[in-house]
Amino acid sequence: MVARRKDNQTPRLWVEPGEGKEGPVARVAPVAPIDKTYSFAIPERLVGRIAPGQRVRVPLGRKGRLFDGFCLEIQTAPWTSTLRFIESVVDSRSFLPPDLLELGRWISHHYACPLGRTLHALVPQVVRSRAGFETIRFAQLADPTPPDEGGRARLGATQKAVLEALALTGGPMDVRELREVTGASTATLRTLVGRGQIVIETVKQPPGAPNCDQPPHEPDFMLNADQQAALARVREVIDAGAFRVLLLFGVSGSGKTEVYIHAMRRVLAAGRQAILLVPEIALTTQLVQRLAARFTDVAVIHSGLTGVARSLTWEAIANGSKRVVIGTRSAVFAPCPNLGLIVVDEEQETSYKNLRAPRFHVRDVAIKRAQAAGIPVLLGSATPSLETWVNTQRAGHYERIDLPRRVRELPLPTVHLVDMRDEQRLIGRNSLFSRLMEERLTATIERGEQALLLLNRRGHANSLFCPNCKIRLECPNCHITLVFHSATGQALCHYCRHRLDVPDLCPNPSCRSPLVAFGAGTQRVEEFLQRHFPRARVRRVDSDTMLSDERYRSLIADVEAHRVDVVVGTQMIAKGLDFPRVSFVGVLTADAGLMSPDFRAAERLFQLITQVAGRAGRRDRPGEVVVQCIAPQTPALQAAMRHDYLAFADSELPPRQTLHWPPFARLVRFVLAGAKETVVRNEIVDLGNRIRDSLAAAGLTSMHLFGPHPCPLIRLRKQYRYELLLRAPDAIAQRTALDHLRANRVLRAKVPSFMIDVDPISMA
For 414-464, write each residue's pLDDT tens digit: 999 999 888 888 876 678 889 999 999 999 999 999 999 998 887 766 777
pLDDT of the residue at 81: 63
Q: 13-40: per-residue pLDDT in tens?
A: 444 555 567 788 999 999 988 889 999 9
Greater confidence, 85 or 4?
85
- Domains of the chain, CATH where assigned: 23-128 (3.40.1440.60), 134-205 (1.10.10), 225-408 (3.40.50.300), 414-460+520-657 (3.40.50.300), 666-758 (3.30.70.600)
Question: Per 3-state DSSP, what percentage of the chain is helix, strand, and coil (rounded to 5)?
Answer: 35, 25, 40
**CB contact burial 26-40 (16+ within 10 A = b; e otherwise):** bbbbbbeebbebbeb
Cβ atoms of residues 489 and 501 within 8 Å: yes
Is pLDDT of 1 > 80?
no
Q: Does residue 400 contact residue 347 with C-beta atoms inside 8 Å?
A: no
Give whichever of 5-19, 207-221, 561-575 has the largest mean pLDDT.
561-575
For the cut 70, the answer to whether the pLDDT of residue 349 exceeds it is yes
Mean pLDDT computed over 129-147: 84
Share of the chain above pLDDT 70, in %: 95
Evaluated on CA atoms 298, 299, 302, 303, the torsion sign reads positive
Per-residue pLDDT reduced to its tens digit, 675-700: 999 999 999 999 999 999 999 999 99
pLDDT at residue 196, rounded to an integer: 86
Q: How far lies 624's CA from each of 434, 588, 615, in Å?
A: 15, 15, 10
In b/e form, how buried is each residue of 352-367, taking b as 16+ CB within 10 angstroms? bbbeebbbbbbbbbbb
Distance, CA of 178 to CA of 180 (rounded, Å): 5
How far is it, in rounded angstroms, from Cα 224 to Cα 324? 25
Taking the CA of residue 46 as centre, how many other CA atoms within 13 Å lie in the half-sphere pointing to its CB? 26
Task: Quote the pTM value.
Answer: 0.88
* Segments of 255-312 assigned E as strands: 273-277, 298-301
Cα angle, residue 666 at apex, residues 281 and 691 outer, rounded to 5°: 115
Q: Determine the pLDDT at residue 544.
A: 76
Q: Place 107 in a pLDDT band, splitting at 50, 70 and 90.
A: very high
Tens of pLDDT, residues 647-678: 999 999 999 999 999 999 999 999 999 999 99
Is the predicted pLDDT of residue 584 greater than 90, yes or no?
Answer: yes
CA neighbor of 291 nearest in space, from 217, 391, 207, 345: 217
Per-residue buried b or exposed e for 149-170, using 16+ beta carbons within 10 Å of the residue's own CB: eeeeeebeebbebbbebbeebe
Q: What are phi and psi of 570, to 5 degrees?
A: -85, -165
Choice among 73-77, 372-376, 606-610 with the minimum mean pLDDT: 73-77
- Residue 18 has what pLDDT? 52
How do 483-485 and 666-674 pair as beta strands?
unpaired
Question: By percentage, how much of the chain surpasses pLDDT 90?
Answer: 54
- Under 8 Å CB-to-CB from 534, ≥6 apart: which residues? none
Query: What's the pLDDT score for residue 291?
Result: 84
> How confident is the model over 617-635, as a mean pLDDT?
88
User: Quick one: pLDDT band at residue 149, thresholds 50, 70, 90?
Assistant: low
C-beta neighbour count of 274 within 10 angstroms: 26
Where does the pLDDT of residue 598 fall: very low under 50, low under 70, confident under 90, or very high at 90 and above? confident
Which of 148-152, 428-432, 507-511 shows the lowest per-residue confidence on average (mean pLDDT)?
A: 148-152
Q: How many CB atoms lie within 10 A of CB 178?
A: 24
Dist CA 491 CA 497 (whole Å): 10
Q: Roughly how many angstroms between the first and final C-alpha of the chain, as a whole number? A: 60
Which stretch of 3-12, 218-227, 332-341, 536-545 has the lowest confidence by average pLDDT? 3-12
Task: Measure the CA–CA gap between 688 and 695, rounded to whole angstroms.
Answer: 11
Q: What average pLDDT score do residues 267-284 get?
A: 88
| Across 304-313, average pLDDT | 88
The CB density around residue 119, as the number of other CB atoms within 10 Å, is: 28
Tell me which amino acid residue 72 is. Answer: L
Name which of 381, 80, 423 is nearest 257 in CA terms.
Answer: 381
Contact predicate 482/518, CB 8 Å: no
pLDDT over threshold 90, residue 208? no
Q: How far apart are CA 332 and CA 377, in angstroms?
A: 12
Residue 165 CA to residue 167 CA, distance in Å, equals: 5
The confidence score (pLDDT) of residue 466 equals 77
Please state the separation of Cα 575 from the chain's center in Å: 17
Phi, psi for residue 642 in degrees, rounded to 5:
-95, 5
In this prediction, residue 644 carries a pLDDT of 94
Residue 497: pLDDT above 60?
Answer: yes
In the DSSP assignment, the letter for residue 206 is -
Indicate if the pLDDT at residue 586 is higher than 70.
yes
Comparing 238-247, 361-370, 517-526, 553-562, which segment has the lowest mean pLDDT? 517-526
Angstrom distance (rounded) from CA 261 to CA 256: 9
* Average model confidence (pLDDT) across the chain: 88
For residue 2, the model assigns a pLDDT of 46
pLDDT value at residue 19: 59
Q: What is the pLDDT of residue 6?
A: 47
